[in-house]
Structures are given as structure tokens and as C-alpha cells.
Amino acid sequence: MEHIYKKGQAGHPVFVLLHGTGGDEHSLLQVANFMDADATYLAIRGDVKENGMNRYFKRYADGSYDEEDLYMRGDSLMKFIEEMSQTYGFGLEDVVLVGFSNGANIAVNLLLQDDSKINKGILMSPLYSIDTSHLTQSKEKVNVFISMGRHDPICSVEESEHVVSLFEDRGANVEEFWGNSHEVTVEILEAAREWLETLK
């Protein structure tokens, strides 16, 4: 997969940057630098095209997710991250998935998987309305920061709260941040940066 890698300093997180629909591997570089300029990052371009726009998994014309493709792409992305951890020499225990919109959705998929080797995520404007009842493993070691919009035109408050419940119902530690819309703002990133400090 097309990607950008930057090695940071020891003791700092490894951000895996996952863009929104229409973005690319450059989209969240400033986000990473804002939250921790000394962090390592691996920015990955989604390899699905929707009307010429990059995404991480397919969806149908009505906007609903192609669940088979979602799980297949999630498995492929996880394998790619594992391969890159070997190539570049970073530990999966240090990885923080940082995703916006479609990137946040594929991050949800990775974090919720049974036996996932990644347990931290910053999820901005996620929407994940698919059945996960087949996943049963406790997520008590998972820590996620989720930013949501009270007036998000894409994801309702109820749909946002559903994402929170997917994690909390399995014991994950969730930090909620409520903003205005489907967005990445300085206020969100400042809150995420403060949350990262609590994990040290």
C-alpha cells in the first residue's frame, strides 16, 4: 500500500494515519505533528477507489457498507501494519490508530477484532452501523478517544453514541469529545493530545 513513514523518538507513540474519503497519505501529517512532533508515523493511502476518491473499503450506492469487503480490507490493512512494524522496527503495542471519517471506520474495525494486536485509537467522526455480535473478546486493555459532532450531517448523535457503546460494552476505556460537525478542529486535537498524555 502507498504510504509515508517517519521515524520519531523512542518513548513516543507510533501514529498510523488513516485519512477520510478523498484524502491520501498526506492528509493527516499535520495532525500527527500537532499532537506529537516527536512521534513516529505511518500514513497509509486507502487502496479502494470510489468515483476517483481514495477509501479503505467499499460501500454501496446508498452509502451502506459492503461488510464482506470491510472485513477483508481490515484484515489486509492489519497485515500491512504488522509487516511495516517488522520493516521499520516499531512495536504494535506503541501504535495509535488515528483516523478521520472513513479512516476512523476502518480503525474501529481493526480495534474491535478479536485478538487485535493494536489497542489504542483516536477516532474522529466515526460511523459504524454494522453487526459486531460475532466479536466477543474483552477489550478492557483498549483505550480510545472518540470525537463526535452534535450537528454532524453524516453521522447522527445516536449513531455516534452507538460507536461509543461498541467499545464500552466490551470493557474498553473511552474518552468522548463532542464538537459541532464532521470535522477535525484544533479543539479536538488539543483534547486528543491531552488524552495521549494520560496513557503514558
CA distance 84 to 127: 27
Residues in the chain: 200
Residue from 36, 116, 125, 152 carrying the catalytic annotation: 152
Residue from 85, 94, 147, 182 carrying the catalytic annotation: 182
Residues linked to residue 146 through DSSP beta bridges, in sequence order: 123, 176
CA distance 140 to 168: 9
Answer yes or no: 152 catalytic. Answer: yes
Answer yes or no: 101 catalytic. Answer: yes
Answer yes or no: 182 catalytic. Answer: yes
Q: Name the residue among 61, 30, 23 with its Cα closest to residue 6.
A: 30
Residue from 101, 116, 125, 147 carrying the catalytic annotation: 101
Asked if 106 and 77 touch (Cβ cutoff 8 Å), the reply is yes
Q: Show which residues are catalytic.
A: 101, 152, 182
